[in-house]
Amino acid sequence: MRSQFWGLYARELLRTFRNPFVLLITVVQPFMWLAFFGSGFAKYAADLAPYYGTSNYIEFLLPGVLSTSMLTVGMFGSMSTIQDKRFGFMKRILITPTSKGVVFLAKALGSASRGLIQIPVMVAAATVFGVRFGLSPLDWCVWVLGLLFVAIGFCSMFLAITASSTDWQTPGVVSNFITMPLMFSSAALYPSAGFPDWMKAISEVNPISYSASLGRHLLLTGAVEWVAFGYLALFAAVMGTIGYFVSSRWLKVD
Amino acid sequence: MSVSGPSAPPAAGAIEVRELSKRYGSVGRGVLALDRVTLRIPRGTVFGLLGPNGAGKTTLIKVLTGISDITSGTASVAGFDVQRESLRVRARIGWVAAEVILDDDFSAWENLWLQAKLQGLRDWQERALELLRYFSLADRKDDKVGQYSTGMRKKLEIALALLHQPTVIFMDEPTIGLDVPTRRMLWEIVTGVHREFGVTVLLTTHYIEEADALCERIGIIDQGRIIAEGTPDELKARVKADLIVLETRDGLDVPRLSALPGVQEVRAQGNEWTIRAGSAEAVLPNLLHAVPPEQIRRISVEKPSLETVFLDLTGRRIGGDEPMRDVRRFYMQMRRARG
């Protein structure tokens, strides 16, 4: 099982680095948010420093954008699985002693790891926009691990939902259904303090909010929000377990 | 290179299938893709599953490789039950797809590495190199396979299937869509692989000449059922007759045709008549005398072959001449409509 997992996991990463287009898409989208959305709001955010906790909106936005981009990573993982089904590669994998559960684990962790590529690029971009990072190595580890948990959780969710699909369009449709509500009902782009009650209720269980909050606290106060970290670990564990069982049972081969 | 596959009960056939049925969808509304198939393929055989498109060939391979569940019946491969011991079966089989399935962004060596990982192999490098040399790919092992020709890609796919020393290799329509020289090359490879590596090969095809050239035994499959099985010679001997296929404008006087000297049987399908005769040459003069020339649209003589076996058993051709018949019917209707 270990051999099969490492083979498929390495395949996921190798394919990413061999395909510059995928790499570019992975990095460009969150960068756009930071550059355009962040710059567009920066002037007003300076006036609302008490509300945002910083006069640099990019500093506020960065953890949120990194968190929401982990949703997109889930969609890419799901698309890559459907591509494997359509081109027959899933059949090639499963006519070896490899279980569907292992295929799921390699896809989920491979896609999640791919999402982490965005972190150094975004951090470098944020530095250009004037963000200063005074984090300790432990802080960095906690932040990156938190983002990895979000990515694993969402990749697992996408893979579970699209396990029985072979339609190219499904991940896009699912993404539209999941990404927008989760992004806008979280504290990723703005503080949740001013939300109406019903949105606050969603935000309080939304992993994106916890991930954004974890990174934001580290950046703005230097403190680790262990509750948020624990919540994200739980989210990854629950979604991973559900994805494993759903894929083991319903992963369609072709 | 001598190879022996992983151990299994010696008495068992490489593949044993008993009363196997596979249904897609629910009873009554679904499709019965395999209907009580029973088959025993001895070890070391090249066995061909010959039948038209949609006959159930690929479904049988899917079931035997553990990709599809069984609706009823049992099947074992390399001595292991395909449902209860699926992982053990999959460790002992290789698979060559109709369309080449490789990671194009990877080199041949990386494709072999991934296959070794999937099969859980540790010391695979020497074996992989031997296979690459055998298939004349060693010099290009570090090139991305996206740059390979179709023939090279097929060779690499077979090398992947052989890497873990399987007991059985499944080849699902391996030459479909290939040009004639590549197809011939693949035939030589299949024969060579069987001779050199001693594996059992289950090959599906709807090419008569392919089954005839490659297979020691053949199962003819139609509408999910194995309708005949044997060596190519045994199957051809079943017909023991020439077939005269006659297409006419109108109906014929069947009792009169049946009474012609040498005619064994007359079967009709619309305006197409299949006449079994001990010798077509002896029957033709009388037949042409009995059927007015203006009635005849087409006439052909089929000598005993796997095609005539299928024609004799089903009244249809493996290649399927239905579309052609439909076109003719359409033009006849148009002509009638114009008066």
Q: What is the predicted ipTM?
A: 0.86
3-state SS of B79-120 is CEECCCCHHHHHCCEEEECCCCCCCCCCEHHHHHHHHHHHHC
Residue B291 has pLDDT above 90, yes or no: no
pLDDT value at residue A94: 93
Say whether B110 and A95 touch across the interface (CB within 8 A): no
Contacts of B138 (CB under 8 A, 6+ apart): B129, B132
Interchain CB distance below 8 Å, B118 and A6:
no
Is B123's Cβ below 8 Å from some Cβ in A?
no
What pLDDT digit, counting tens, does each position of A125-140 carry?
Answer: 888 888 888 889 999 9
β-bridge pairing B263-269 and B217-222? unpaired
Are B103 and A19 within 8 A, CB to CB?
no
Q: Considering only alpha carbons, which residue of chain B is nearest residue A87?
A: B101
Instruction: Say yes or no to pLDDT of B298 above 70.
Output: yes
B67: nearest CB among A3, A19, A253: A253
User: Is residue B45 within 8 Å of B217, Cβ to Cβ?
Assistant: yes
Please report which confidence band the pLDDT of residue B81 belongs to, taking 50, 70 and 90 as the band edges: very high
Average pLDDT over residues B214-222: 92
Choose the CATH number for B236-338 among 3.30.70.980, 3.40.50.620, 3.30.70.20, 3.30.70.260.
3.30.70.980
Tell me what pLDDT residue B249 has: 85
Between A and B, how many residue pairs show a Cβ–Cβ distance under 8 A?
69
Enumerate the domain spans of chain B.
15-231, 236-338
The pLDDT mean for chain B works out to 85
B residues 148-177 near A, CB within 8 Å?
170
CA-to-CA distance for A122 and B234, rounded, in angstroms? 72
Q: What angle do CA A14, A17, A20 make, to 5 degrees?
A: 140
User: Of residues B122 and A22, which shows the higher confidence score?
Assistant: B122
Question: What pLDDT, on the 0 to 100 scale, is given for residue B319?
Answer: 65
pLDDT above 70: residue B93: yes
Q: For A83-92, A169-178, B61-70, B211-220, which range has the lowest pLDDT when averaged over its residues?
A: A169-178
Which pLDDT value is given to residue B329? 53
Instruction: List B residues 60-79 in contact with A (Cβ-Cβ < 8 A).
Output: 65-67
> What is the structure's pLDDT at B4?
38
Residue B110 binned pLDDT confidence (cut-offs 50, 70, 90): very high
- Average pLDDT of the segment spanning A169-184: 85
Average pLDDT, stretch A36-42? 77
pLDDT in tens, A21-35: 877 877 787 778 777
Q: Do B101 and A91 make contact, defined as CB atoms within 8 angstroms?
A: yes
Among residues B129, B161, B156, the alpha carbon closest in space to that of B144 is found at B156
Predicted confidence at residue A254, as pLDDT, reads 73
pLDDT of B327 above 70: no
Contact list in A for residue B176 (CB cut-off 8 A) is none
Q: Say whether A95 and B93 touch across the interface (CB within 8 A).
A: yes
For B11-67, the pLDDT digits (tens) are: 468 999 999 999 988 777 788 999 999 999 999 999 999 888 888 999 999 999 999
Just give the CATH number of B15-231.
3.40.50.300
Three-state SS for A135? coil
At residue B158, the pLDDT reads: 92
Residues from chain B that touch A18, judged by Cβ atoms under 8 A, are: 105-106
Closest-CA distance, A86 to chain B, in angstroms, reads 11
Closest residue in A to B100 (Cα) is A88
- Most confident of the ranges A183-197, A204-218, B181-195: A204-218
Q: Tokens 């992993």 identify what position?
A: A207
For all residues of chain A together, what is the average pLDDT? Answer: 88
Q: What is the mean pLDDT of residues B323-330?
A: 48
User: Residue B336's pLDDT is what?
Assistant: 58
Q: Which of A43-52, A71-80, A212-221 is predicted with the least confidence, judged by mean pLDDT?
A: A43-52
Interface test with B, best of A87, A96, A254 (most B CBs within 10 A): A96
pTM of the model as a whole: 0.83
Better pLDDT: B309 or A119: A119
Q: Is residue B21 within 8 Å of residue B59, measured between CB atoms? A: no
Q: Which residues of A touch B (CB under 8 A)?
A: 3-4, 6-8, 10-11, 14-15, 18-19, 87-89, 91-99, 253-254
Contact A88 B97 (CB under 8 A): yes
**Whole-angstrom distance, CA of residue A15 vs CA of residue A29:** 19
Q: Which among A14, A91, A96 has the least Cβ separation from residue B118?
A: A96
